[in-house]
C-alpha cells in the first residue's frame, strides 16, 4: 500500500531580540516646548542603543601656501556637529510600535528656526547639554514590524560645544564696615564693589550673562587670571530705577534694557568689551555705582563649555 506523506507546517521562527540599550549613559531629549522624553529607559518601550558624533567637533581650516613649500594655518573654526541616535522601539503589535514612534516624533521633530531642542547626556558624576535641531531619520513607520523596529535619527547642533549646568554668582549691596577690620573692604553707601573667585571647570571659555537690577548708574566688570586681564564699563542711557534690570551678554555682545531696548552703545568701548570666563580659576570684580541697600543686585550666570560630553 502506498504511504501518503503529509507536509508538516514549518515551526515559526522566534522574533529576534531587540538590541540592548546604550550602556553607561542616561540620554534625554527636551523639546522646544519643554517636554522631556527619556531615551534610555526601556520601560517606556524605546531606547537609544548607539550614539554617533560625541567626539571633538570637526573644524574648518584656512591655509595659505608657503614660499618654501607646504602651507601655513591662517585660521580655524569649529563646524556644525551632527549626532546620530540609533533608536529602538519595541511593542507587542505593529500598531503599538507605530504609536510609540509617533510619540518620539512629536517631541524630536518639533524643532524650528530659533526653537531648538536640548539633548542631554549624563554619565556618573557629570551631565552635559547641547542645543540641537531635528534633521532626518523619522521618515519610516513600523508597518508590519514584529517585536521591534529601529531607526537612525540625525540631529544638527549649530554650536558644537557641550555645556554643563549653569553657575550663578551674585553681588549685593553691603553696609559700610570698619576700614581697619580684617578681611573686609570699606564700601561706600552708593556702590557695590567686590571681588569673587570663580571657577569654570570647562575645556573652553564660557560666555556669561550678567543681570544688573537697579538702582544703578554705571557698572564696571573686570576679570583677572594671572597676567590676563579684561574689563568693560557700561553706562545706561538713563539710570536704572528700583526693580529695573539691564542684561549684558558676551556672545553675542549686547546690552538689553529693562523693556528689551538694545543699549549696546552704552558700552564704553575704550575700556574694553564684555569678556569670556576662561577655564580654571579667575577673579571677577564688580563695581556698580548708584547702588541702594536692599535693592541693587548684580547676578552673573554662565555654563561651563566642553568639547566632548
Last residue of a domain, one of 100, 134, 160: 160
Residue 5, in any domain of the structure: no
Amino acid 142: pLDDT: 56
Average pLDDT over residues 58-72: 92
Amino acid 172: pLDDT: 77
- Expressed as residue numbers, the domain containing 45 is 26-160
* Secondary structure letter of residue 197 according to DSSP: E
pLDDT tens digits, residue range 111-151?
Answer: 999 999 999 999 999 999 999 999 999 976 655 566 888 89
Q: Please check the confidence at residue 157 and state whether its pLDDT lies above 60.
A: yes
Average pLDDT over residues 291-295: 86
**pTM to 2 decimals?**
0.82
Cα separation, 211 vs 205, in Å, equals 19
Do 116 and 199 lie in one domain? The reply is: no
Please provide the DSSP assignment of 221-279 as one string: EEEEETTEEEEEEE--SS-B-TT-EEEEEETTEEEE-TTS-B-GGGB-TTT-----B-S
Amino acid 180: pLDDT: 39
Last residue of a domain, one of 110, 140, 160: 160
Do 171 and 120 lie in one domain? The reply is: no
Do 172 and 301 lie in one domain? The reply is: yes
Last residue of a domain, one of 134, 160, 186: 160
pLDDT tens digits, residue range 217-245?
Answer: 999 999 999 999 999 999 999 999 999 99
Q: Please check the confidence at residue 173 and state whether its pLDDT lies above 70.
A: no
Q: Please check the confidence at residue 193 and state whether its pLDDT lies above 80.
A: no
Amino acid 279: pLDDT: 96
Percent of the chain with pLDDT over 70: 84
pLDDT grade for 179, boundaries at 50, 70 and 90:
very low
Residue 11, in any domain of the structure: no
Strand, coil or helix: 302: strand
Residue of 32, 20, 25, 27 lying closest to 153 (CA atoms): 27
Residue 12, in any domain of the structure: no
Q: Which residues contact 228 (CB under 8 A, 6 or more apart)?
A: 278
Do 76 and 95 lie in one domain? The reply is: yes
Q: How far is CA 39 from the centre of its chain?
A: 18
Do 153 and 229 lie in one domain? The reply is: no
Q: What CATH number corresponds to the domain at position 129?
A: 2.40.30.200
pLDDT grade for 181, boundaries at 50, 70 and 90:
very low
Residue of 246, 235, 258, 225 lying closest to 300 (CA atoms): 246
pLDDT grade for 208, boundaries at 50, 70 and 90:
very high
**Phi/psi-derived region of residue 32, left when phi > 0, alpha when psi is between -120 and 50, beta in every other case:** alpha
Do 155 and 177 lie in one domain? The reply is: no
Q: What CATH number corresponds to the domain at position 209?
A: 2.60.120.860
Do 114 and 221 lie in one domain? The reply is: no
Do 280 and 216 lie in one domain? The reply is: yes
| Count of domains observed in the chain | 2
Q: Please check the confidence at residue 10 and state whether its pLDDT lies above 80.
A: no
Average pLDDT over residues 99-106: 93
Do 176 and 247 lie in one domain? The reply is: yes
Query: In this predicted model, which residue has the larger pLDDT, 207 or 291?
Result: 207
Query: In this predicted model, which residue has the larger pLDDT, 180 or 266?
Result: 266
pLDDT tens digits, residue range 239-280?
Answer: 999 999 999 999 999 999 999 999 999 999 999 999 999 999
Amino acid at each position: 500500500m502506498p504511504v501518503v506523506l503529509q507536509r508538516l507546517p514549518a515551526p515559526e521562527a522566534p522574533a529576534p531580540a531587540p538590541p540592548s540599550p546604550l550602556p553607561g549613559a542616561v540620554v534625554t531629549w527636551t523639546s522646544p516646548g519643554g517636554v522631556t522624553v527619556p531615551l534610555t529607559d526601556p520601560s517606556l518601550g524605546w531606547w537609544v542603543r548607539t550614539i554617533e558624533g560625541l567626539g571633538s567637533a570637526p573644524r574648518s581650516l584656512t591655509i595659505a601656501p608657503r614660499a618654501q613649500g607646504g602651507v601655513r594655518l591662517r585660521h580655524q573654526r569649529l563646524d556644525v556637529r551632527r549626532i546620530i541616535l540609533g533608536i529602538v522601539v519595541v511593542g507587542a503589535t505593529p500598531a503599538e510600535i507605530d504609536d510609540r514612534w509617533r510619540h518620539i516624533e512629536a517631541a524630536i521633530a518639533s524643532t524650528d528656526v530659533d526653537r531648538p531642542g536640548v539633548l542631554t547626556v549624563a554619565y556618573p558624576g557629570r551631565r552635559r547639554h547641547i542645543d540641537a535641531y531635528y534633521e532626518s531619520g523619522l521618515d519610516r513607520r513600523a508597518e508590519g514590524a514584529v517585536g521591534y523596529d529601529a531607526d537612525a535619527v540625525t540631529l544638527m547642533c549649530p554650536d558644537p560645544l557641550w555645556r554643563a549646568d549653569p553657575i550663578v554668582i551674585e553681588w549685593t549691596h553691603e553696609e559700610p564696615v570698619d576700614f581697619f577690620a580684617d578681611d573686609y573692604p570699606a564700601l561706600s553707601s552708593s556702590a557695590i564693589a567686590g571681588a569673587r573667585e570663580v571657577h569654570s571647570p570647562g575645556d573652553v571659555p564660557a560666555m556669561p550673562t550678567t543681570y544688573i537690577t537697579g538702582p544703578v548708574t554705571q557698572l564696571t566688570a573686570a576679570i583677572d587670571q594671572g597676567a590676563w586681564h579684561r574689563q568693560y564699563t557700561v553706562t545706561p542711557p538713563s539710570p536704572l530705577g528700583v526693580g529695573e534690570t539691564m542684561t549684558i551678554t558676551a556672545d553675542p555682545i549686547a546690552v538689553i534694557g529693562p523693556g528689551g531696548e538694545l543699549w549696546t552703545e552704552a558700552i564704553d568701548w575704550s575700556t574694553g568689551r564684555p569678556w569670556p570666563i576662561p577655564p580654571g580659576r579667575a577673579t571677577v570684580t564688580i563695581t556698580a555705582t548708584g547702588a541702594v541697600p536692599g535693592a541693587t543686585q548684580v547676578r552673573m550666570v554662565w555654563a561651563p563649555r566642553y568639547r566632548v560630553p
